[in-house]
Amino acid sequence: MTPRQNRTRDRAERGIPEATVARLPVYLRALHTLQERGVATVSSEELAAAAGVNSAKLRKDLSHLGSYGTRGVGYEVEYLVYQISRELGLTQDWVVAIIGVGNLGRALAGYGGFASRGFRVAGLLDADEALVGQEISGMAVEHIDRLEEIISGRRVSIAVIATPAGAAQKVCDRVVAAGVTSVLNFAPVVLSVPDGVDVRKVDLSIELQILAFHEQRKAGGPDGYAPPASGEDPPGAAQYVEAVEA
């Protein structure tokens, strides 16, 4: 994605691989668990096991942040928690707005994982007049007409889109226009955004379909499944649509 800037500084300090960034939160969670148990020091082997990764990978990931381990001993849990938190930007607070207060939006509003990691939900917005004013998880739902005002007024930097698919792109355009540069999208659509805006997608249906693919493989026998005749002309090409439509 950003290949050119990787040679400006040489490792640590700049250019942490995307794959590493994606694992840091996992390490962080494992470290928090260790911390609760009162563990002061952990080896790469132990932490890797807790995080479900290879220990060499863990060490390489951590080496991108600097040399925070002690050879022969391991890593100091507390210090590592701090370093990873800082690298991820969790030592500062991030203001989040949730747009769309359906079932999913409600679940997100009540999700404990927000507050505990420096994410503060500062707004719940919906287009449904009947919802506006209702209180969800101790916060009143506001009308989406006030989106721009809320986003800039409360310095929202991350927007969580939990609207129906049809509304998502329009909402996205508006939050971006209002200054948001990070979007977490739960709507089942591909959002298009200008350069400089990050979008991450969470899509239940896609995850299930990936599982179904592997499940189908497994069902075909342990040694190898051949997908149903993939070079043939299926008889009756017209009616196969029904099989997958709602």
List the one residue out of 210, 105, 212, 116 whose CA is nearest residue 168: 105
Nearer to its own copies, 125 or 156 (CB): 156
Is residue 76 at the binding interface for DNA, with CB under 7 A as the rule? no
Give 184's contacts (C-beta < 8 A, 6+ positions apart).
158, 159, 160, 161, 199, 200, 202
Q: Minimum distance between the CB of residue 151 and its own copies, rounded to whole angstroms?
A: 14
Query: Among DNA, its own copies, none, what does residue 210 contact (CB within 5–8 Å per kind)?
Result: its own copies
Cβ-in-10-Å burial (0-12, 13-18, 19+) of 183 comes to buried
Query: Among its own copies, DNA, none, what does residue 63 contact (CB within 5–8 Å per kind)?
Result: DNA
**Considering only 29-37, 49-57, 96-104, 213-221, which stretch makes contact with DNA by CB under 7 A?**
49-57
Q: Minimum distance between the CB of residue 165 and its own copies, rounded to whole angstroms?
A: 9
Is residue 80 at the binding interface for DNA, with CB under 7 A as the rule? no
Give 188's contacts (C-beta < 8 A, 6+ positions apart).
165, 203, 205, 206
Q: Minimum distance between the CB of residue 68 and DNA, rounded to whole angstroms?
A: 6
Is residue 60 at the binding interface for DNA, with CB under 7 A as the rule? yes
Q: Which two tokens stand for residue 104?
A: 């999913």
Is residue 105 at the binding interface for DNA, with CB under 7 A as the rule? no
Token pair 């359906």 is at which residue? 102
Q: Minimum distance between the CB of residue 207 and DNA, rounded to whole angstroms?
A: 17
Query: Among DNA, its own copies, none, what does residue 111 contact (CB within 5–8 Å per kind)?
Result: its own copies
Is residue 54 at the binding interface for DNA, with CB under 7 A as the rule? yes
Q: Please, are residues 42 and 74 in contact by the beta-carbon 8 Å criterion?
A: yes
Helices assigned H by DSSP within 37-102: 44-51, 55-63, 77-88
Residues forming the site for DNA (CB under 7 A)? 3, 6, 17-20, 43-45, 53-57, 59-60, 62-63, 67-75
